[in-house]
Amino acid sequence: MKELVYHQLSVRRLNGPLPKLPYQNFYREILGKDFELSIVFVSPKISRELNQKWRGKNLPANILTFRLSENSGEIFICLSAAQKSAKDFSENLETFLKRLLVHGLLHLKGLTHGSTMEKQEQEFLDKESQNKNYGQTSDRRH
């Protein structure tokens, strides 16, 4: 299992390398440093099972977000489903994963689908793309 741990953030994947994303800065800026967050990269089978149980949909979801308490939550990302969705958005996987991560973090912040959420997503991603070093950190533990 691959795992990164930062303060209140844990990122895990059972098989394969973790995608290189600015997890720490994204989560801190959107949720704050005291929010406890777990991000798990899962197989299509696990994603489908979770999606069936919690949303009644019998297919893998690219992302599933669960608020556990006022200050904690979990995000499950299925890379193969995300890869398919990235093509629909005409984006490469890394760019789309950033979009998904921001999307999930905004859900944990309490936003629901709609123009306000979409506007905040795009503003955050535009800000991130303007700063090439945004999200880079030397505090990585494997």
Q: Does the residue 140 lie in any domain?
A: no
Residues spanned by the domain of 16:
2-130
CA distance 83 to 123: 23
- From the list 10, 91, 3, 76, the residue with the least C-alpha distance to 43 is 76
Per-residue pLDDT at 7: 63
CA distance 78 to 4: 17
Q: Does the residue 136 lie in any domain?
A: no
Digit-coded pLDDT (tens) for 39-58? 999 999 999 999 999 999 99
Digit-coded pLDDT (tens) for 82-121? 999 999 989 999 889 988 999 999 999 987 888 887 888 7
CA distance 73 to 9: 10
Segment 23-39 shows an average pLDDT of: 84
Per-residue pLDDT at 105: 93
Q: Does the residue 100 lie in any domain?
A: yes
Q: Does the residue 142 lie in any domain?
A: no
How distant is the alpha carbon of residue 80 from its chain centre?
A: 14
Which residues are bridge partners to 4 per DSSP? 11
The pLDDT of residue 1 is above 70: no
Q: CATH number for the domain including 106? A: 3.40.390.30
Q: Does the residue 135 lie in any domain?
A: no
The answer to whether residues 65 and 42 touch, using CB atoms and an 8 Å cutoff, is no
Q: Does the residue 15 lie in any domain?
A: yes
Q: Does the residue 141 lie in any domain?
A: no
The tally of domains found in the chain comes to 1
Segment 76-85 shows an average pLDDT of: 94
Other Cβ atoms closer than 10 A to 76:
22
Q: Does the residue 69 lie in any domain?
A: yes
The model carries a pTM of 0.80
CA distance 127 to 87: 23
